[in-house]
Chains A and B, each alone.
Chain A
């Protein structure tokens, strides 16, 4: 059942509409549990689109196995997806920095408040992101350490490679996930792939995990593939590589490669002079779970993250 959950009139003959597809058994008992799949907060992150499609397809073809409510929100920022804009067009702030929103605020804040209202009461929410256009990410779940105790058991069911329990930056309090967790909707943030692209393998991997989680919640009784056991890590085990020079990054490793401390990861080169401006070495040993996709870098641009050890 497709519903228009939020509508805001735009100036000329159009509405901003946030839609939800509710999948539920033909007959309801009244005590069904509800899981929400949300994505498209950032208009340049598309991995969630394929996940929503796959999940819709599987559930609708196997409706006899559905014993709860699955709400699919493919586009929390439809104008952004439509215009290949990360944020909300005509609004300066990142949509994932304005939650829980404000019904008396600017349009984006009004929409954010409406999203929270519609999601409140859900038993679980999966918030799917796909990095940005700059970085490729290993399929992972990110959990604020304040919520780790409660969320880790659910996160382990989601068939992701990695669970990153990160420290609680105050600014993250303005995210959708934080706001939902605060009002009692357990919410897991998934990051995978790279912006503006869809990796079907990643999508299938997450859908398997969502079905596994749904099964554990009593929402799904259909077949579920075996899921992997994720690596769980805290900030102390993540090493960062940032560009020390501005130029073009040329990688000498692949995403998910294992490197040893001192190995060459790549170089920053100058197209104008032919110089190698900076040879980049791994600051620690481990697996490259984040790798830069977009070659133009300024000083400071993130090149890679290594799971294994921190840099002192």
Chain B
């Protein structure tokens, strides 16, 4: 393993932001794994840290296939992580909305540009990322439908679900989108946890990534049997919204199977604790997303259920 500073940004009042890269193997730019682009993506950073731990051992055992290079970047935006912010400390911009970046542009455009200079051109680009809504989501691999995506390759992670999503306008500045534009096979891996780390989930994600790298001939690794992935799209998800607001008490977690009519959650009056609303599963399915906050707005997305017997396009 060799460690390199991939990008450094000087700050007037703090120590420099240094983006660390950990290289394994030598040769073709084969696989790049990126962790926390946002300051709250602790689990994403942790997965990379555990991956580095395992790759060190594999490299010592000679399990990195000759001529293949793997780059792991645990964190890009720890300047925000250290002060409890999700986005860039000064202007609140999101580095994952700045790709491919611009080396003469604004600060986060420069960070994106400096980083992308180092990570473009890899055959496989894997980003550990988080969902834009506050809540917990079932672990899955997500690919953007840009016309040259590869579903079969996404299945090689052995995760339960592969989500194929049509890009929205704001996706055009994400890392995943730009990796694909620069002809990498790009995958976004979503974890249930974000701002806290969970070791069992992190180790499962490490195993999914190693299984993928093994499938692609980058490492020799005896992978554990994974899932035969279901391919799903947004159309397979059924949204359960609140009609009222108040205290939110939920009874189901991501990954749980529910049946039509099952009680998913209650909304309580904040002053009297009376039940104002009960949310029931409108279909048979699996909990894909669940709002995490204990306070909930009216019209909020409380749950997204993956409807049973849908999926696989």
Contacts and interface: CB of A to CB of B under 8 A. Distances in A.
Interface of A: 8-13, 15-16, 86-87, 90, 92-93, 97-98, 104-107, 110, 132, 134, 170-174, 240, 242, 245-248, 270-271, 296-302
B109 to A, nearest CB: 7
Given A12-B295, A242-B104, A299-B110, 16 more contacts: A9-B244, A11-B247, A11-B248, A11-B296, A11-B297, A13-B270, A16-B297, A90-B134, A104-B239, A105-B301, A170-B169, A171-B169, A171-B172, A171-B173, A174-B170, A298-B12
A1 to B, nearest CB: 25
Interface string B62-100: 000000000000000000000000110011101001000
Given A11-B247, A174-B168, A270-B12, A301 B92 contact: no
Contact of B10 (A87, A171, A173, A245): A245
Contacts of B90: 296, 298, 301
A302 B107 CA distance: 8
A227 B86 CA distance: 45
B86 to A, nearest CB: 6
30 contacts: A9-B245, A10-B297, A11-B295, A12-B271, A13-B271, A92-B94, A92-B134, A104-B239, A106-B301, A107-B297, A110-B299, A132-B91, A170-B173, A171-B97, A171-B172, A240-B104, A242-B105, A242-B106, A245-B10, A246-B9, A246-B10, A246-B12, A247-B12, A270-B12, A296-B90, A298-B107, A299-B9, A299-B10, A299-B107, A300-B106
A240 to B, nearest CB: 7
B300 A170 contact: no
* Residues of B in contact with A, size category: 35 or more
Contacts of B295: 11-12
Contacts of B105: 242, 300
B241 A104 contact: yes
A240 B11 CA distance: 21
A10 B104 contact: no
B246 interface: yes
Query: Which of B110, B239, B297, B298 counts the most chain A CB atoms within 10 A?
Result: B297
Contacts of B109: 300
B228 interface: no
Nearest to B90: A298
A247 B9 CA distance: 12
Given A104-B239, A174-B168, A298-B107, A10 B245 contact: yes
A123 B301 CA distance: 33
Nearest to A241: B104
Contact of B92 (A16, A86, A297, A300): A86
Nearest to B268: A11
B133 interface: yes
Contacts of A92: 86-87, 94, 132, 134
A9 B297 contact: yes
Contacts of B91: 132, 134
Nearest to A133: B91
Nearest to B174: A171
A107 B133 CA distance: 10
Contacts of B110: 299-300
Contacts, number: 106
Nearest to A98: B170
A170 B239 CA distance: 28
B270 A107 contact: no
Contacts of A300: 105-110
B14 to A, nearest CB: 9
A110 B12 CA distance: 40
Contacts of B108: 300
B86 A298 contact: no
Interface string B232-243: 000000010100
A159 B132 CA distance: 39
Contacts of B168: 174
Contacts of A134: 91
Contacts of A245: 10
B299 A8 contact: yes
B67 to A, nearest CB: 36
B98 to A, nearest CB: 10
A13 B295 CA distance: 12
Contacts of A301: 90, 106-107
B260 to A, nearest CB: 19
Contacts of A97: 97, 170
Nearest to B110: A300
Interface string B103-132: 011111110000000000000000000001
Contacts of B241: 104
Contacts of A12: 246, 270-271, 295
A188 to B, nearest CB: 20
B245 A11 contact: yes
Contacts of B247: 11
Contact of A174 (B132, B169, B298): B169
Given A9-B244, A11-B247, A104-B239, A170 B172 contact: yes
A87 B92 contact: yes
